[in-house]
């Protein structure tokens, strides 16, 4: 089932805020369906669009910060982003458990 793909990658009309990076993305104007492949379909073409994109890191951080669960964001799939979220959560937990020294 595919839900509102247009909404998933909607770029703001007034891109002067925190998401103004989207106006510089390689995917601007590309059919959003490419970034939301059916289960089991290849993500290679979508990831190719992301390759070399000057705002790839911004896109990835946006997806991680906003809990994007579907599609290719910042050149990574849902599974790849989940791995990053787990790694970051583990790093935070480990850091919080370490005793603070003055």
Domain that residue 36 falls in:
18-93
Domain membership of residue 12 (yes or no) is no
Where do we find the tokens 């998933």? 8
Domain membership of residue 6 (yes or no) is no
Residue 57 falls in which region: left (phi positive, over 0), alpha (psi -120 to 50) or beta? alpha
Q: Count structural domains, the chain.
A: 1
In tens digits, what is the pLDDT along the chain, a chain of 102 residues?
A: 344 444 445 444 444 566 789 999 999 999 999 999 998 899 999 999 999 999 999 999 999 999 999 999 999 999 999 999 999 999 988 888 877 766
Domain membership of residue 55 (yes or no) is yes
Domain membership of residue 29 (yes or no) is yes
Domain membership of residue 5 (yes or no) is no
pTM, 2 dp: 0.75
Helix (H, G, I), strand (E, B) or coil at 63: helix
Domain membership of residue 56 (yes or no) is yes
Domain membership of residue 58 (yes or no) is yes
Instruction: Give the model's pLDDT for residue 34.
Output: 97
Instruction: Give the model's pLDDT for residue 94.
Output: 87
Domain membership of residue 57 (yes or no) is yes
């Amino acid at each position: 089932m595919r839900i509102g793909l247009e909404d998933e990658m909607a770029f703001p009309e007034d891109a002067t805020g925190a998401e103004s990076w989207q106006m510089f993305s390689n995917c601007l104007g590309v059919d959003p369906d490419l970034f939301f492949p059916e289960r089991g379909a290849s993500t290679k073409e979508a990831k190719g669009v992301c390759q070399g994109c000057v705002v790839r890191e911004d896109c990835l951080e946006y997806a991680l910060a906003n809990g994007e669960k579907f599609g290719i964001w910042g050149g990574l799939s849902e599974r790849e982003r989940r791995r990053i979220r787990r790694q970051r959560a583990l790093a935070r937990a480990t850091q919080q458990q370490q005793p603070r020294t003055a």
